[in-house]
Chains A and B, each alone.
Chain A
Amino acid sequence: MSEPQVGRSPPDPVRDPAFKRELVTLIPHLRAFARTLTGDPTAADDLAQDAMMKAWDARASFQLGTNMKAWTFMILRNQFYSEKRRSWRQSQLDQEAAERTLVAVDDPEAPVALDELRLGLGMLPAEQREALILVGAGGFAYEEAAEICGCAVGTVKSRVSRARRALQAILEAGAYDRDGASAGDAMHAILADAERLSSLR
């Protein structure tokens, strides 16, 4: 997977429409990945839009036939971390916004298990969280996740495995930070909910 080239790609009447069609199908996935990185829906959509435009501008450097989903996820992730690096103060604000959103439960009807899962995920180190999301939710192979994160395959494997163990321990201990309310048994809620979901399928 080649790094996206900075700068605008010249128009290509043959390739551009096909590229654009595929890019449009990836928008929902970019939004979902951005949501897990920022934790904040508005910031996530800004990030996903920036990444979409970066991908469009760099389309000449994309090799047709290779994995465009992984390529756009790499662009989105690079964008997220370069924005964070640009200003420490801003990244602090982002972090606070992310924590607020991870803790805030907008929908009182939302299934308890998902809230607990979000809170638990929020407690993992960022590199473990993104590895687990890419492999466990995004459907990427370890090799693809390694390319997206710019690290070795073995590193991704160990991050995913540490993330899984840590998340399970957090959920079992009820150690996630929930103000006021009792911790409850998140693991049992998740087990029950997962069983219900699988029986629906």
Chain B
Amino acid sequence: MQMQFGVEDMIEHVPMEDKRKSAAALDEARLRQQAIGVKLRQMFDEVVNEAVPDEFLEILRKAEPPKGER
């Protein structure tokens, strides 16, 4: 009888505890991945938001043939 109680105890409580734990761990992992995502975008956007060096537009301007040559 004692043995049976022990098994029931495990069925009733241990899996529930495991489920709660893994759900909490999943939430925490999701939160951490979201945080990493926010920082990744911030890192990328910092460069996107920098002023473009004049060189870029100068090079592109030079690449265009003068109007007379068309």
Contacts and interface: CB of A to CB of B under 8 A. Distances in A.
* Interface size range of chain B in the complex: 20 to 34
B55 A28 contact: no
Contacts of A31: 47-48, 50, 52
Nearest to B70: A11
**Main DSSP-derived SS at the B contact region:** helix
B39 A20 contact: no
A32 B35 contact: no
A114 B36 CA distance: 10
A139 to B, nearest CB: 8
A110 B29 CA distance: 26
B41 A137 contact: yes
Contact of A27 (B36, B52, B65): B52
Given A52-B59, A133-B44, A191-B31, A198 B52 contact: no
A194 B35 contact: yes
Contacts of A187: 32, 35
Interface stretch (A60-68, A85-93, A163-171, A174-182): A163-171
Interface residues of A, number: 42
B47 A114 contact: no
Contact of B43 (A11, A23, A117): A117
Given A45-B55, A133-B44, A198-B38, A13 B70 contact: yes
Nearest to A117: B39
B40 interface: yes
Interface string A90-108: 0000000000000000000
Nearest to A196: B38
A187 to B, nearest CB: 6
Contacts of B60: 20, 23-24, 52-53, 56
Contacts of B35: 187, 190-191, 193-195
B59 A137 contact: no
A118 B57 CA distance: 29
Given A31-B47, A168-B33, A24 B40 contact: no
A78 B44 CA distance: 20
Interface of B: 29, 31-45, 47-50, 52-53, 55-57, 59-60, 63-65, 70
Given A45-B56, A49-B59, A137-B41, 16 more contacts: A24-B57, A28-B52, A31-B48, A32-B44, A45-B53, A48-B56, A52-B59, A53-B63, A117-B43, A133-B44, A168-B29, A168-B33, A190-B32, A190-B39, A193-B35, A198-B38
